[in-house]
Structure 1
Amino acid sequence: MKDETPARAKSAKPQPEPLLDTSGDSDEPAFSWMAPAGRDTAGSRAEDTPGADRPSGSSSVDGSGDAGTAPGSTQAGTRADRKAAEAAAAPPSDAGDRPGNGSSPVFNEPLDTSALHVRPPEEEVERRNAERENAANAKPVAPRVMQVLLAICFPVVLLVLAVRAVTSPLFLWVEYNRPGFPGDGYGFSTDDRMTYGSYAVDYLSNWSGPRYLGDLVHRSGDRLFKDGEVSHMADVKLVILSTFGAGALLLLLCLVAVLYLRRRSTGGVRRGLFAGSIITLVIILGLGTLAFLGWQQFFTEFHRIFFADGSWTFSLDDTLIRLFPGQFWIDAGIAIAGLVLLTALVTLVLTWPTRRRRGLPPREAAEDQA
């Protein structure tokens, strides 16, 4: 028993597995049924090869086949032949839509786009081009407004700053100690003038009431300023503080305009300051000419603008006249005009519209290009 089982196992022929047995498969190529209709892969390969044996169930291309097959029959022996026969027998689905197949052709109407090819009149074309060019070249209004605002505020701010520089103890000291300044014929020394004059100048820029000057007493015990002088200094203080307040507001507007133009308009700050410096020069030269031709008339008309008649005239022995004689006001006017004129000239030179500042090429390069 032990020796028969191995011998039997050796003599037995191995049986193939059912799923792997390929003996019953045909010679049809794999996936040939997926070929397009009219292209017989297996049959054409068999016909092109000389001496090749055709499958027993296949038919020839010209209709000659086996005895059991009817002439003209398109029944194919392989799957590819059957698919080709079915495709040839089935009529096309769009046979009625194609010209040349026995049916009337169908024409598609073109889209109504003929209006796109019509050129408008020349006047309309020119008008549209002009509007397009104007829209492209138009500049925004806000930068222009800011430039005008900067040009108008600039001379006023310069005048206010010059007035503030003159109404200071430093200018008093320069005036009282400069050679040629007239002395006081009623007994005030330079030190007295500097002390009492500093009180008057400080009163113009502080927030004290009239008592700041009204309670001042001379060394002899008399009041230093009379009631009329104190009242006039109160009026001057109102004008000075209003001027300083307006100057501060205009300076703030100038700063806003400068910041806006720096961000929104290239060269806008330069153009605004250039125009403002020209306006300043015109104003200063005009006022200087009037003052030079008639200082007394100019001084009188200036006081009539801001003060009531009779409230600003005093006798020669009053404290205000002894501290601030006529020569003091002439020097103050010259100092204000000089400061404003110098600042305007420097600004004019720094903002002069040269070719480089305007972003243009040098003149030689422009001539070469021309």
Structure 2
Amino acid sequence: MVEVRAGGGRLQPGEHLSATDPADRDAPNQHPDPGHIPAHHQCLHDPARGRRVRPAEAGLHGCRLRGGAAGRHRGRGRGLHPGGHALAGAVRRPHVLSRPSTIGATLLAIALAVALVLAGPLLLFNPWFVSFEQARNDVPARLATTQAEVDRVTGAILCDLLLGCDDFAEGLPRSPSSASQPLLTDAERSHMRDVAHLVRLLWLALLVAVALVVAALAFLRRHPRRIGAILLWTSGGVAVAAIVVGAFFAVAFDLAFLLFHRLFFPQGNFLFAADSNLLRLFPEGFWFESALVAGLLIVVSALAVTLAGWRLLRS
């Protein structure tokens, strides 16, 4: 019988090598060395069997995991503890949104921008704000009438803008005993019909945008940080754009007002003489202050949404 050298020493019959890679007892399908290595396994040549055998090796014998090398756990390559738990410091693959989620995020960004831009200005089409601005700009004196009559006519015009109540046929009495005369000319009424079409279209766009925002938020409710990022960047961009446009209206109102009308009323029926009753009812000062208030409402609402997005992003 031949002795086998092991680490500078000699392995005697009946002895076995110590395991240099101890078995992981937490891993499935692994067992420690069951016991002593039989003496005939330590021989380079076994005369009784008439064949050569390999020298004994330290470690596990014939023990392998499915789909991997011996001594390894199937979860280690994925940052898992042998028991199935995540290892400390393991890096997980970031979650990738599916295609429907990406579409929902895009719709949320677009619809939110539309809602923020339209909500503030359209909410100014109310009799209280309009009456306040008309009183500030001396509209009753311009029309030689009372504030009550101005409020009555303006309320009817607002009804025409939103609901098409009387086709802008309102009138003012020249004197307490005289009958009401039509306030607007045919050209002015034609322009107001165009304004009414635009206002109704914008209200429809606002309602659709709000519905899409609600639907997109419900669809992405499992991704609050994603929602927060969309709210933050979209509303922040709207706020910056509103500040820039508002500054342009503030320093060059005549040019900005003219460009606005040429953009939305390309037919060009928005130019009237200085003695136009439409211009007296809604003078330049009225539109200047209304434009600034509308821009301020856009900025304030956008900043509120930005704050909400920031809080969601930090959650």
- TM-score band w.r.t. shorter chain: 0.5 to 0.7
Matched pairs, number: 230
Whether the 8 Å contact between 1:147 and 1:257 is mirrored in structure 2 is yes
Structure 2 unmatched ranges of 5 or more: 1-66, 70-76, 79-89
| 1:301 pairs with 2:259 | yes
Match of 2:167 in 1: 212
Q: Which of 201, 208, 220 matches 1:242? A: 201
Is the alpha carbon distance of 1:325 and 1:265 closer, same or farther for their aligned partners in structure 2, counting shifts above 3 Å? Answer: same
- TM-score, normalization: structure 1? 0.55
Matches of 1:224 and 1:202, distance apart in 2: 16
Q: CA deviation at 1:168?
A: 0.9
**Aligned-residue RMSD, C-alpha:** 3.1
Whether the 8 Å contact between 1:165 and 1:171 is mirrored in structure 2 is no
Q: CA deviation at 1:233?
A: 0.7
Aligned pairs for 1:45-64 within 5 A: none
Q: CA deviation at 1:226?
A: 0.8
SS across alignment from 1:311: coil
Match of 1:31 in 2: none
Q: Which of 275, 280, 305 matches 1:347? A: 305
Whether the 8 Å contact between 1:143 and 1:268 is mirrored in structure 2 is no
Matches of 1:320 and 1:294, distance apart in 2: 22
Matches of 2:202 and 2:256, distance apart in 1: 20
The amino acid across from 2:254 in the alignment is: Q
Match of 1:286 in 2: 244
The amino acid across from 2:248 in the alignment is: L
Whether the 8 Å contact between 1:151 and 1:279 is mirrored in structure 2 is no
Whether the 8 Å contact between 2:113 and 2:238 is mirrored in structure 1 is yes
SS across alignment from 1:218: strand
Whether the 8 Å contact between 1:151 and 1:272 is mirrored in structure 2 is yes
SS across alignment from 1:315: coil
Whether the 8 Å contact between 2:239 and 2:299 is mirrored in structure 1 is yes
Q: CA deviation at 1:235?
A: 0.3
Is the alpha carbon distance of 1:134 and 1:238 closer, same or farther for their aligned partners in structure 2, counting shifts above 3 Å? Answer: farther
Matches of 2:154 and 2:143, distance apart in 1: 15
Is the alpha carbon distance of 1:339 and 1:330 closer, same or farther for their aligned partners in structure 2, counting shifts above 3 Å? Answer: same
Whether the 8 Å contact between 2:160 and 2:168 is mirrored in structure 1 is yes
Whether the 8 Å contact between 1:159 and 1:336 is mirrored in structure 2 is no
Match of 2:156 in 1: 199
Is the alpha carbon distance of 1:181 and 1:242 closer, same or farther for their aligned partners in structure 2, counting shifts above 3 Å? Answer: same
Whether the 8 Å contact between 2:121 and 2:297 is mirrored in structure 1 is no
The amino acid across from 1:174 in the alignment is: F
Aligned pairs for 1:266-345 within 5 A: 266-345=224-303
Q: CA deviation at 1:289?
A: 2.3
Whether the 8 Å contact between 1:186 and 1:317 is mirrored in structure 2 is no
Q: CA deviation at 1:134?
A: 12
Aligned-residue sequence identity (percent) comes to 22
Whether the 8 Å contact between 2:134 and 2:282 is mirrored in structure 1 is no
Matches of 2:198 and 2:246, distance apart in 1: 22
Q: Which of 212, 215, 229 matches 1:256? A: 215
SS across alignment from 2:171: coil
Match of 1:169 in 2: 127
Matches of 2:308 and 2:138, distance apart in 1: 36
- TM-score, normalization: structure 2? 0.64
Q: Which of 88, 93, 113 matches 1:155? A: 113
More strand, by proportion: 2
SS across alignment from 2:168: helix
SS across alignment from 1:154: helix
SS across alignment from 2:184: coil
The amino acid across from 2:108 in the alignment is: L
Matches of 1:200 and 1:235, distance apart in 2: 13
The amino acid across from 2:295 in the alignment is: A
Max Rg structure: 1
Matches of 1:156 and 1:331, distance apart in 2: 22
The amino acid across from 1:358 in the alignment is: R
Q: CA deviation at 1:312?
A: 0.6
Matches of 1:353 and 1:162, distance apart in 2: 23
Whether the 8 Å contact between 1:274 and 1:348 is mirrored in structure 2 is yes
Whether the 8 Å contact between 1:182 and 1:327 is mirrored in structure 2 is no
Q: Deviations over 1:80-110 (max 9, x none)?
A: xxxxxxxxxxxxxxxxxxxxxxxxxxxxxxx
Is the alpha carbon distance of 1:181 and 1:343 closer, same or farther for their aligned partners in structure 2, counting shifts above 3 Å? Answer: farther
Q: CA deviation at 1:138?
A: 4.7
SS across alignment from 2:266: coil
SS across alignment from 2:173: coil
Q: CA deviation at 1:258?
A: 0.6
Is the alpha carbon distance of 1:181 and 1:139 closer, same or farther for their aligned partners in structure 2, counting shifts above 3 Å? Answer: farther
Matches of 1:225 and 1:249, distance apart in 2: 33
Q: Deviations over 1:277-324 (max 9, x none)?
A: 112112201211221231100000000011135401112222211110
Matches of 1:117 and 1:166, distance apart in 2: 70
Q: CA deviation at 1:218?
A: 2.9
